[in-house]
């Protein structure tokens, strides 16, 4: 338009005003669109942005987006919003990676990192766009098929999930089922994409070493949580979209939806969005358990007591089990982000003032923000986190990466670490006593402490505690549970749960529930002791069902597991000390001499490989320190006696026989040989005992060792094989003679009898029983570095005494013949004295 003065239109002529004809030529369609935003069609703006995303540098793209957000009205911006969100966070199917926030780091790409963090900051241009569209009440379709598996299965069965995030969002069709969408406002749409990009995107390659805490995504999560879950003051209002004024507030929500206030609307939506996308996952077997009649009755009562919204009375059918197809495998990055969420949640919930947190405060008018702080953990997080942790404890590999899950769990168990009045650690190493004011939290999260602790014991019993990484995990758990007064709180919670039902029989009709976010509870606070017992029972039954089988943490079954763990810790300490002593006895040049072949050629090793082999003496010291402290903490928690621990130490003496050699692992004799018992498997895993593994095959065909030259060994094998085939008859005849020559040939051409070897397997014994190998020549010894270096040294020493190569060879040959003759005589004499 700026280039043309007269535009032909069929037979007519369109005259353009002179002021418009004098405009300069634009360099791109986007510049023209930005010059006249009121004259452009939305599709033209979207096409221009898509073209510039391919042709322009990343920094220029972001600058243009900032101008577009500032200059264009919401009517045009709402058409580019879904494309922009997908281009930033990637597609929901994981094909498009977007800006790849999970790999973007400031120390690697400082320029792009700074641009992205400024654009996506809670006070940045992208959030201004969200609030600009929010003011106009635009809705965006989000496919239900990309929601977490339990949510998707529930919606497809026409059962509304319990989170208020889905209220009034789904339009159920008469047939229900597939193809459903959620009608989300701009803020919800943005949060859903942001949260799901952590899960839907493909896992990072193993070769790509990215520190999660340094990547842009992790830091943005931290900023968003700090912004929407403030610990001081009130929730910040939506940002101004223009320099001269503020955006109108979002339209009020329906009465059935909580928190219709101005800024808290975004806090609840952001928090619920993160929780739903990151925590609402569990395995198929857990989903089936949640469909049991008892569990569904609990959920139905809970929903009816929380909201007045209409829920479908239909019970889940078998179709729900078929609809649930999620294979949930959380990554370490996912777990680290969830831990960050829990830290912010504890800090947010603990920011209540003492007078607001007291039970009497519930009877007075309180702000919605204060109600939300009280209800955030029990209402939105507790059940989902419990199922999430249970899944991780049961399905995570038995390796050191479990540390991420462990620290997430321990962070949730210690809300006092994130309280504003927390005590600074003293100069001494003694842990601070857990205040009695945290007893309600411990009791209302009893399963988080007890059942998951028992689950950790079962995991620890199957790991290699000699590894410093595994020893550290046992130490961390024991240290947390050994905090003064915590074990007593847990034990008190178990006593409240195990109280007879008669104590609360007069209140069976009343269901304890979370607040309804209207500033009051359904019923007044009852007497303290009885109500505490009801809280604990309600917590356990709501998570495990009325027919659950509870295993007390301080009961006999758990105590047996603790004693087994204490025994394994003692054995692992002994093993680590043995490895340390073995390493200390090795000379400094052991590796070089082994390479040359001058040291022992035992390729089996004394202990199975673990982290100690790579990390050295410092790791041995750390492992011993972790295990020693963990054992002491377990003794404090479960009040183990010194006599019990001494028995474990004395029992280690039975692992060695009279000659000081280790016994075989515990096993029984079966038809085909030895069969390991569970104790034997534990002994092997922790390096306490091992089988003496020896090569039982043809020595000429054993694998090439590190002290041998591969090509030379193969050449010598072919040469010796040809000689053996050519002169087999002559060698057999010489070895059959009864004189000295026959003995001399037998010494060189035959190997020790197989009967003298330790054949541990009866199957192998049967295979080799009738097999005898004839005399043969072996030249493999000439392919080792030891032999070649020895010959080289002999020739060098001979040259110092002016002895040439040929005389030196003759002298070496003569010396070997004398040595072999002496060994032949000794061997024959030894055979004569054998019974």
d(CA 424, CA 231): 19
Structure confidence at residue 113 (pLDDT): 95
pLDDT tens digits along 17-30: 443 344 444 455 55
Structure confidence at residue 301 (pLDDT): 52
Q: In the predicted model, is pLDDT for residue 333 greater than 70?
A: yes
d(CA 665, CA 683): 6
The proportion of the chain whose per-residue pLDDT surpasses 90, expressed as a percent, equals 34
Residue 52 in contact with residue 64, Cβ under 8 Å? Answer: yes
* HEC-encoded secondary structure of 682-704: HHHHCCCCCCCCCCCCCHHHCCC
528-542, 660-674, 763-777: least confidently modelled range: 763-777
pLDDT tier at 539 (50, 70, 90 boundaries)? Answer: confident
Q: Give me the helices (H) in 463-589, please.
A: 468-481, 486-497, 528-544, 556-585
pLDDT tier at 178 (50, 70, 90 boundaries)? Answer: low
pLDDT tens digits along 28-65: 555 555 555 554 455 788 998 999 888 999 999 999 99
pLDDT tier at 511 (50, 70, 90 boundaries)? Answer: very low
pLDDT tens digits along 586-642: 544 444 444 444 444 444 444 444 555 445 567 788 888 999 999 999 999 999 888
pLDDT tier at 84 (50, 70, 90 boundaries)? Answer: very high
Residue 472 in contact with residue 523, Cβ under 8 Å? Answer: no
Structure confidence at residue 769 (pLDDT): 45
pLDDT tens digits along 245-297: 334 434 433 333 333 344 577 788 888 889 999 998 765 556 555 554 444 55
The proportion of the chain whose per-residue pLDDT surpasses 70, expressed as a percent, equals 67
In DSSP notation, 362-379 reads GGS---HHHHHHHHIIII
d(CA 111, CA 115): 6
Residue 558 or 172, more confident? 558
Structure confidence at residue 179 (pLDDT): 67
Average pLDDT over residues 501-506: 47
pLDDT tens digits along 574-589: 888 777 766 665 544 4
Query: In sequence order, which residues have a C-beta less than 8 Å from that of residue 95 and are 6 or more positions away?
Result: none
| For the ranges 11-15, 301-305, 372-376, the one whose mean pLDDT is highest | 372-376
Please give the mean pLDDT across all residues of the chain. 76
Q: Name the residue among 119, 132, 147, 242 with its Cα closest to residue 187.
A: 132
pLDDT tens digits along 460-493: 999 989 889 999 999 999 999 999 999 999 999 9
Residue 194 in contact with residue 150, Cβ under 8 Å? Answer: no
Report the relative pairing of strands 12-15 and 6-9 from DSSP bridges. antiparallel
pLDDT tier at 166 (50, 70, 90 boundaries)? Answer: confident
Average pLDDT over residues 110-116: 95
The 8-class DSSP code of residue 178 comes to S
Q: In the predicted model, is pLDDT for residue 241 greater than 80?
A: no
Q: In the predicted model, is pLDDT for residue 520 greater than 50?
A: no
pLDDT tier at 129 (50, 70, 90 boundaries)? Answer: very high
Q: Which string of b and e fits 792-817 if b means at least 16 CB within 10 Å?
A: eebeeebeeeeeeeeebeeeeeeeee
Q: In the predicted model, is pLDDT for residue 243 greater than 50?
A: no
Residue 304 in contact with residue 311, Cβ under 8 Å? Answer: yes
Residue 467 in contact with residue 610, Cβ under 8 Å? Answer: yes
Residue 409 in contact with residue 337, Cβ under 8 Å? Answer: no
pLDDT tens digits along 451-467: 999 999 999 999 989 88
d(CA 15, CA 20): 11
Residue 724 in contact with residue 749, Cβ under 8 Å? Answer: no
Query: In sequence order, which residues have a C-beta less than 8 Å from that of residue 649 and are 6 or more positions away?
Result: 570
| For the ranges 316-330, 579-593, 614-628, 704-718, the one whose mean pLDDT is highest | 704-718
Judged by DSSP in three states, 246 sits in coil
What φ, ψ does residue 708 adopt, rounded to 5°?
Answer: -120, 155
Residue 670 or 481, more confident? 481
The residues spanned by each domain of the chain are 43-136, 436-501+531-583+618-653, 710-754+774-832
Structure confidence at residue 616 (pLDDT): 57
Q: In the predicted model, is pLDDT for residue 119 greater than 90?
A: yes
């Amino acid at each position: 338009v700026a280039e043309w003065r007269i535009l032909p239109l069929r037979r007519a002529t369109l005259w353009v005003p002179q002021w418009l004809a004098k405009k300069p030529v634009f360099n791109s369609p986007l510049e023209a669109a930005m010059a006249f935003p009121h004259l452009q069609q939305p599709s033209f703006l979207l096409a221009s942005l898509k073209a510039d995303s391919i042709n322009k540098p990343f920094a220029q793209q972001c600058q243009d987006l900032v101008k577009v957000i500032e200059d264009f009205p919401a009517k045009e911006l709402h058409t580019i919003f879904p494309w922009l969100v997908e281009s930033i966070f990637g597609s929901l199917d994981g094909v498009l990676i977007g800006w790849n926030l999970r790999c973007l780091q400031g120390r690697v790409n400082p320029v792009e990192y700074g641009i992205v963090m400024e654009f996506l900051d809670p006070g940045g241009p992208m959030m201004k766009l969200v609030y600009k569209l929010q003011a106009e009440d635009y809705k965006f379709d989000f496919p239900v098929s990309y929601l977490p598996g339990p949510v998707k299965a529930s919606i497809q069965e026409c059962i509304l999930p319990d989170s208020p995030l889905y209220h009034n969002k789904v339009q159920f069709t008469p047939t229900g089922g597939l193809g459903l969408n959620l009608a989300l406002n701009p803020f919800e749409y943005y949060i859903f994409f942001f949260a799901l990009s952590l899960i839907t995107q493909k896992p990072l390659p193993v070769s790509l070493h990215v520190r999660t805490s340094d990547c842009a995504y992790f830091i943005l999560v931290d900023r968003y949580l700090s912004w929407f879950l403030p610990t001081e003051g009130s929730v910040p209002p939506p940002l101004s979209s223009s320099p001269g004024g503020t955006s109108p507030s979002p339209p009020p929500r329906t009465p059935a939806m909580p928190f219709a206030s101005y800024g808290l609307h975004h806090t609840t939506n952001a928090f619920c969005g993160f929780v739903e996308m990151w925590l609402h996952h569990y395995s198929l077997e857990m989903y089936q358990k949640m469909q049991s009649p008892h569990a569904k009755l609990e959920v139905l009562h809970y929903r009816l007591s929380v909201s007045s919204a209409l829920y479908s009375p239909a019970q889940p059918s078998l179709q729900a089990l078929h609809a649930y197809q999620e294979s949930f495998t959380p990554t370490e990055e996912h777990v680290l982000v969830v831990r960050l969420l829990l830290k912010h949640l504890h800090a947010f919930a603990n920011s209540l003032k003492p007078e607001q947190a007291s039970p009497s405060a519930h009877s007075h008018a309180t702000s919605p923000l204060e109600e939300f702080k009280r209800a955030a953990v029990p209402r939105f997080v507790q059940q989902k986190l419990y199922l999430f942790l249970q899944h991780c404890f049961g399905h995570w590999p038995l390796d050191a990466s479990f540390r991420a899950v462990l620290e997430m769990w321990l962070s949730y168990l210690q809300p006092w670490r994130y309280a504003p009045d927390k005590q600074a650690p003293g100069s001494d190493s003694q842990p601070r006593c857990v205040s009695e004011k945290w007893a309600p939290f411990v009791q209302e999260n009893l399963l988080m402490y007890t059942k998951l602790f028992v689950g950790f014991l079962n995991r620890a019993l199957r790991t290699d505690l000699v590894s410093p990484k595994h020893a550290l995990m046992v130490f961390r758990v024991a240290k947390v549970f050994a905090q003064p007064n915590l074990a007593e709180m847990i034990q008190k919670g178990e006593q409240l749960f195990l109280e007879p039902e008669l104590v609360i029989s007069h209140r069976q009709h009343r269901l304890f529930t979370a607040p309804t976010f209207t500033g009051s509870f359904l019923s007044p606070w009852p007497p303290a002791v009885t109500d505490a017992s009801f809280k604990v029972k309600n917590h356990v039954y709501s998570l495990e069902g009325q027919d659950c089988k509870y295993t007390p943490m301080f009961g006999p079954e758990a105590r047996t597991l603790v004693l087994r763990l204490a025994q394994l810790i003692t054995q692992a300490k002994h093993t680590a000390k043995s490895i340390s002593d073995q390493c200390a006895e090795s000379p400094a040049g052991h590796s070089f001499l082994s390479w040359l072949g001058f040291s022992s050629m035992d390729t089996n090793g004394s202990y199975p490989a673990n982290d100690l082999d790579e990390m050295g003496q410092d790791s041995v010291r750390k492992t011993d320190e972790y295990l020693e402290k963990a054992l002491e903490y377990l003794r404090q928690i479960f009040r183990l006696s010194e006599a019990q621990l001494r028995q474990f130490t004395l029992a280690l003496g039975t692992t060695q026989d009279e000659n000081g050699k280790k016994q075989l692992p515990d096993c029984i004799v079966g038809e085909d040989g030895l069969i390991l018992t569970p104790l034997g498997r534990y002994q092997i895993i922790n390096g306490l005992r091992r089988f003496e593994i020896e090569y039982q095959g043809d020595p000429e065909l054993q694998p090439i060792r590190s002290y041998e030259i591969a090509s030379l060994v193969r050449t010598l094998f072919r040469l010796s094989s040809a000689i053996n085939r050519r002169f087999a008859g002559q060698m057999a005849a010489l070895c059959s003679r009864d004189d000295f020559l026959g003995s001399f040939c037998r010494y060189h051409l035959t190997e020790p009898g197989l009967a003298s070897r330790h054949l541990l397997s009866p199957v192998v014994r049967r295979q080799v029983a009738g097999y005898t190998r004839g005399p043969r020549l072996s030249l493999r010894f000439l392919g080792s570095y030891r032999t070649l270096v020895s010959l080289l040294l002999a020739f060098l020493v001979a040259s110092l005494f002016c002895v040439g190569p040929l005389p030196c060879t003759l002298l070496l040959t003569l010396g070997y013949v004398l040595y072999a003759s002496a060994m032949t005589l000794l061997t024959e004499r030894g055979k004569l004295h054998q019974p």
